[in-house]
């Protein structure tokens, strides 16, 4: 396995090949980070189709801006930040041009067996997703990377370009904020 690892190109080598117009290298780079980008996009949108579209846009941006990547920085972190920006732009544009999403619950037949679990799960899912949008972009990115990508505080601090202590603090404050948003919305129920 370590031999296989040795044969892999480093990010820097891949980036240099991509700059020389190698589509093979760019495909390799996409393969390396597709799931990271998808997860960030999904964490920001909660919708798999949107996440795939954002992934596509992110890699187009990565290709176009690779010259501006600072080589001393970590390519993975740089890509994660682009993905987060793309996802936020996407959400902003959705707010400006809202679309109608299919509601799975609407397709449940009256005779179907009880779907309380499904509906309850979906309700929690939707409530959490809504409350995530109350976080500022930096805090939301930290939460997305922690939960949707399973990153350690050390890795997250690389993306956010801050210390591990600050990252821990951001995560803690984000969860407190989410808790208060969710509690408020529950209390607002009739």
Residues within the interface to another protein (CB under 8 A): 3, 21, 23, 26-27, 30-31, 34, 38-39, 42-43, 48, 52, 55-56, 59-60, 63-64, 121, 124-125, 128-129, 143, 146-148, 150, 152-153, 167-169, 171-172, 175-176, 178-179, 182-183
* CB-nearer residue toward another protein: 9 or 147: 147
Nearest to 37 by CA among 61, 5, 8, 4: 61
Judged on CB neighbours under 10 Å (0-12, 13-18, 19+), 84 is buried
| Smallest separation (angstroms) from another protein to the CB of 78 | 17
| Smallest separation (angstroms) from another protein to the CB of 72 | 26
Chain position carrying tokens 């949107």: 50
Instruction: Give, in order, the Cα–Cα distances in Å from 32 to each of 26, 35, 82, 92, 100.
Output: 10, 8, 15, 28, 33
| Smallest separation (angstroms) from another protein to the CB of 52 | 6
| Smallest separation (angstroms) from another protein to the CB of 153 | 5
Instruction: For the chain, state the CA radius of gyration.
Output: 19
């Amino acid at each position: 396995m370590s031999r296989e690892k040795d044969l892999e190109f480093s990010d820097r080598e891949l980036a240099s090949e991509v700059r020389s117009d190698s589509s093979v290298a760019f495909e390799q780079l996409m393969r390396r980070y597709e799931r990271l980008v998808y997860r960030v996009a999904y964490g920001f949108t909660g919708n798999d189709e949107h996440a795939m579209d954002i992934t596509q846009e992110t890699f187009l941006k990565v290709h176009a801006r690779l010259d501006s990547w600072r080589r001393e920085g970590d390519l993975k972190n740089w890509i994660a930040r682009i993905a987060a920006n793309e996802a936020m732009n996407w959400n902003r544009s959705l707010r400006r041009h809202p679309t109608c999403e299919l509601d799975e619950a609407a397709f449940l037949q009256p005779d179907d067996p009880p779907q309380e679990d499904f509906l309850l799960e979906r309700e929690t899912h939707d409530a959490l997703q809504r409350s995530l949008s109350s976080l500022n972009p930096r805090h939301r990115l930290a939460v997305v990377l922690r939960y949707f990508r399973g990153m350690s505080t050390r890795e997250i601090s690389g993306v956010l370009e801050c210390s591990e202590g600050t990252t821990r603090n951001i995560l803690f404050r984000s969860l407190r904020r989410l808790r208060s948003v969710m509690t408020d919305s529950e209390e607002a129920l009739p």
